[in-house]
Amino acid sequence: METALTPLEFARRTRRLHPQREAVVDGNTRMTYERFFDRCDRWSAALQNMGVSKGDRVAYVAPNTHGQLESFYAVPQIGAVLVPINYRLSPEDFVYIVNHSGATVVCAHSDQLDALDGVRDRMPGVRRFVALEGARAGWEDYEQLLAETGPDFTRPEISESDLLTINYTSGTTARPKGVMITHRNAYMNAVGTLLHLRMDVGERYLWTLPMFHANGWTYTWIVTAAAATHVCLRAVDPGHVFELVRAEGVTWLCAAPTVLITLANTPPEVRGETPAGVHVVTAGASPAADTIERLESGFGWTVTHIYGLTETTPFIAVCEPRPEHAGLDVRERGVLKARQGVELITSGELAVLADGGGEVPWDGETIGEIAVRGNVVMAGYFNDPEATERVMGDGWFRTGDAAVTHPDGYVEIRDRIKDVIISGGENISSIEVEGVLLRHPAVQEVAVVGVPHEKWGESPRAFVVAHDGQPVTAEEVIAFARDNLAHFKAPTGVEFVDQLPKTATGKIQKYVLRDGAPAVARQ
């Protein structure tokens, strides 16, 4: 009587128990779970009518709309494989990902039709192009196809080891790689997340995180599993975010630290009244303790830091609270909450490994590489066995993150291995320096990279986005760092910029800053 571990089980249960509960809010569109799943069934039938069968790939290029959300049920329940593509990528990236994945159907939002029209002739394997909204000549109309198709489809036997999605990495330094996520991977990540971050029936989840990003950290299925409501957000505008939090009674949201920084620094006249009690899940980079403090003490929100990668479905660690943390002041709790934490109950085994392969001591000082093995690790990179072997060949998935383990077992990233700054033989964590600089009242965002130095080999250089209306000089920033850090860790140069280069998922592209930064002369 075993049942395959698949997030489709969440849909089965919720449509049975909560058919009339509100499922989705997307602008003026509101639908119950009964209507939502009826639409998913109709799209499954339409895809089968197009010739899509088990194992075929269906690609989507869309922001957070109800049509995009429907893909996470309609495509996998016919055994096909969903390929959610970052809609902010270039047309060249669209061509590469569609062709590499072997997608036979491409569904796109109206905002992406122009970009795709210019490269459609370079996607020879695609049989059908479907416009989710704003259909035009040469594109089939999604809503019309749904209206013309009944809800009956043939559901094949689905194994938990079958591919569910192929999620392409951002490809900032090389061609993006296709991360193969199985039904079991996603199920285990969703269940583990719900164990640590309980979402209850009827709660309201705001889609500040892109659904294409690691399947929305599996919240595309988690929210449904909880019979909560998906509140779609097509673009992150701070004023609109706070408006929806109020109007829709939002109780949960996920966001990368860059988005949290923007929300934390939104002026009161734009923010308006901010309801307390919102649960915030953040991941994608290490959040600054200062940002956590602002959201918790200023807004009355609760922030939980989760750690993972696309290759781990994505969560492998959670900074779960412990009773002994309750007595700490807000600054001390912020420092703890900025750590990556401990392995999720369901994710598998996490360890910080030394170069020789053994686990580093739990002293909060010895640096190793975070490695994981277990339920949420991907099946591998699609059509790339060499890259798969490089990161998984010894039985561990190697993350590339340099970290320490504290005496309580909490893991803390000190840097990406490639971003550690080695100055005069000393290792400097750019994340540590950034965390200190973000406490300066005039600093809104900051990235620290190592640049060549005549005396020390390399030294830290800070790229700072300053708060509007708060003048600050490079000398003041450096002095602040020297007052709060060992002097060798302080930046030897500061450059003020209007914005930091970022990937479409909000990660700062430090290689861009390094490549464009001048060498630092002897000081």
Tokens of residue 8, six digits: 């489709």
Cβ atoms of residues 109 and 61 within 8 Å = yes
47, HSE (Cβ side, Cα atoms, 13 Å): 34
Same domain, yes or no, for 269 and 388? yes
Q: Which amino acid is at 364?
A: G
Residue 452 belongs to a domain with what CATH number? 3.30.300.30
Tens digit of each residue's pLDDT (9 = 90 or more) over 60-110: 999 999 999 999 999 999 999 999 999 988 899 999 999 999 999 999 999
Q: Which of 154, 281, 160 is nearest to 213 (CA)?
A: 281
* Residue 504 confidence (pLDDT): 62
In this structure, are strands 302-308 and 315-318 parallel, antiparallel, or unpaired? antiparallel
Tens digit of each residue's pLDDT (9 = 90 or more) over 216-258: 999 999 999 999 999 999 999 999 999 999 999 999 999 988 8
No. of helices (H) and no. of strands (E), the chain: 18, 26
Q: Is the pLDDT of residue 521 over 50?
A: no
Q: Tell me which of 417 and 32 has the higher pLDDT.
A: 32
In this structure, are strands 349-353 and 368-373 parallel, antiparallel, or unpaired? antiparallel
Same domain, yes or no, for 373 and 439? no
Q: Is the pLDDT of residue 399 over 70?
A: yes
Structural domain ending residue among the three candidates 378, 394, 416: 416
Q: Is the pLDDT of residue 422 over 80?
A: no
Residue 228 in any domain: the answer is no
Torsion of CA 266, 270, 275, 279, to 10 degrees: -40
Provide the 3-class DSSP secondary structure of residue 388.
helix
* Residue 464 confidence (pLDDT): 94
Sorted by sequence, the CB contacts under 8 Å of residue 106 that are 6+ apart come out as 58, 59, 60, 61, 98, 116, 123, 126, 128, 129, 130
Instruction: Report the predicted TM-score, pTM, of the whole model to 2 decimal places.
Output: 0.86
* Residue 517 confidence (pLDDT): 63
Tokens of residue 135, six digits: 């259909």
| Residue 157 DSSP code | P
Share of the chain above pLDDT 70, in %: 97
Same domain, yes or no, for 347 and 441? no
Residue 272 in any domain: the answer is yes
Tens digit of each residue's pLDDT (9 = 90 or more) over 198-209: 999 999 999 999
Of 168-172, 188-192, 455-459, 483-487, which one has max mean pLDDT? Answer: 188-192
H or E element in which residue 189 lies: helix 183-196
Residue 20 in any domain: the answer is no
Residue 318 belongs to a domain with what CATH number? 3.40.50.12780
Residue 269 in any domain: the answer is yes
Structural domain ending residue among the three candidates 416, 440, 456: 416
Distance between CA atoms of 72 and 258, rounded to whole angstroms? 26
* Residue 420 confidence (pLDDT): 78
Distance between CA atoms of 518 and 451, rounded to whole angstroms? 7
Provide the 3-class DSSP secondary structure of residue 271.
helix
Tokens of residue 451, six digits: 């640049």
Q: Which of 395, 500, 503 is nearest to 169 (CA)?
A: 503
Tokens of residue 448, six digits: 């620290």
Sorted by sequence, the CB contacts under 8 Å of residue 1 that are 6+ apart come out as none
Cβ atoms of residues 183 and 334 within 8 Å = no
Tokens of residue 171, six digits: 């490809």
Q: Tell me which of 264 and 331 has the higher pLDDT.
A: 264
Distance between CA atoms of 325 and 337, rounded to whole angstroms? 10
Structural domain ending residue among the three candidates 395, 416, 437: 416
- Describe the crossing of helices 33-49 and 66-74 by its angle, rounded to 10 degrees: 70
Average pLDDT score over residue span 397-401: 93
Distance between CA atoms of 101 and 93, rounded to whole angstroms? 12
Q: Is the pLDDT of residue 116 over 70?
A: yes
Same domain, yes or no, for 38 and 154? yes
Residues pairing with 141 in the sheet: 131
Q: Which of 160, 147, 131, 281 is nearest to 214 (CA)?
A: 281
* Residue 461 confidence (pLDDT): 94
Same domain, yes or no, for 424 and 407? no
Same domain, yes or no, for 385 and 435? no
Same domain, yes or no, for 339 and 471? no
Q: Which domain holds residue 103?
A: 33-183
User: Quick one: pLDDT band at residue 509, thresholds 50, 70, 90?
Assistant: confident
Residue 122 in any domain: the answer is yes
Same domain, yes or no, for 377 and 253? yes
- Describe the crossing of helices 8-17 and 33-49 by its angle, rounded to 10 degrees: 130
Average pLDDT score over residue span 266-289: 89
Tens digit of each residue's pLDDT (9 = 90 or more) over 319-337: 998 998 888 888 888 888 8
Residues pairing with 7 in the sheet: none
Tens digit of each residue's pLDDT (9 = 90 or more) over 8-26: 999 999 999 999 999 999 9
Residue 206 in any domain: the answer is no
Q: Is the pLDDT of residue 502 over 90?
A: no
Work out the mean pLDDT of the chain and round it to a whole number: 92
Block residue for tokens 């109780």:
251
Same domain, yes or no, for 374 and 479? no
Tens digit of each residue's pLDDT (9 = 90 or more) over 126-146: 999 999 998 899 999 999 999
Tokens of residue 104, six digits: 């036979």
Residue 211 in any domain: the answer is no
Q: What is the 3-state secondary structure (H, E, C) of 6-63?
A: CCHHHHHHHHHHCCCCEEEEECCEEEEHHHHHHHHHHHHHHHHHCCCCCCCEEEEECC
Same domain, yes or no, for 122 and 107? yes
**How many structural domains does the chain have?**
3
Same domain, yes or no, for 257 and 406? yes
Distance between CA atoms of 489 and 485, rounded to whole angstroms? 6
Cβ atoms of residues 250 and 205 within 8 Å = yes
Q: Which amino acid is at 486?
A: A
User: Quick one: pLDDT band at residue 523, thresholds 50, 70, 90?
Assistant: very low
Q: Tell me which of 173 and 184 has the higher pLDDT.
A: 184
Same domain, yes or no, for 409 and 434? no
In this structure, how many other beta carbons lie within 10 angstroms of the beta carbon of residue 338? 25
Residue 224 in any domain: the answer is no
